[in-house]
Amino acid sequence: MSDKIKIYGTLINHFETGTEGVWWALQKAPSGFAKGRSYEDLYLLHSGDVLEIYDPDALYSRGEHKILWTGTIEKDTNSCLLERPLNPEVKQQNVGGFWVHWLQRGFFNHEQWNWVFIMNYPAKIIRSSC
């Protein structure tokens, strides 16, 4: 029997020097008096995770968990490939002007996928404990 872990927070497009592009992630909601973001509360999305994205207007104004999209993470690493400007032999995905490592297969469209992370939509990840 595998235990499922549920993690609530906001979606972020995580990147920093050396990552060479965006990693899609969920920043766990801080507990207690914690302020800001920490690596301990950062969860990169993995193939097989179940992701629920909530309507931020419904959640923040009425407290409703209206689901905008739910699905299993399936990485698409072939669409939206562009040559890297300083290394044209290397192609990488690009959406909304951001270099990314993968896009979600079957989401409405790639620009909307990028948008929910840029705008930090509320979400939940369900993943196996192992």
pTM of this prediction exceeds 0.75: yes
Could you read off the pLDDT of 46-69 as tens digits, one per residue?
A: 999 999 999 999 877 888 889 999
Q: Which residue has the higher pLDDT, 34 or 9?
A: 9
The ranges assigned to domains in the chain are 4-74+108-128
Q: What are φ and ψ of residue 73, in 5° steps?
A: -65, 120
- Asked if residue 108 has pLDDT above 50, the reply is yes
- Asked if residue 9 has pLDDT above 70, the reply is yes
DSSP of the chain: ---EEEEEEEEEEE--TTS-SBEEEEEEPP-TT--S--GGGEEE--TT-EEEEE-HHHHHHH----EEEEEE--EE-STTEEEETTEEEEEEEEETTEEES-EETTSS-HHHHHHHHHTT-EEEEEEE--
Could you read off the pLDDT of 72-102 as tens digits, one per residue?
A: 999 999 999 999 988 899 999 999 999 999 9
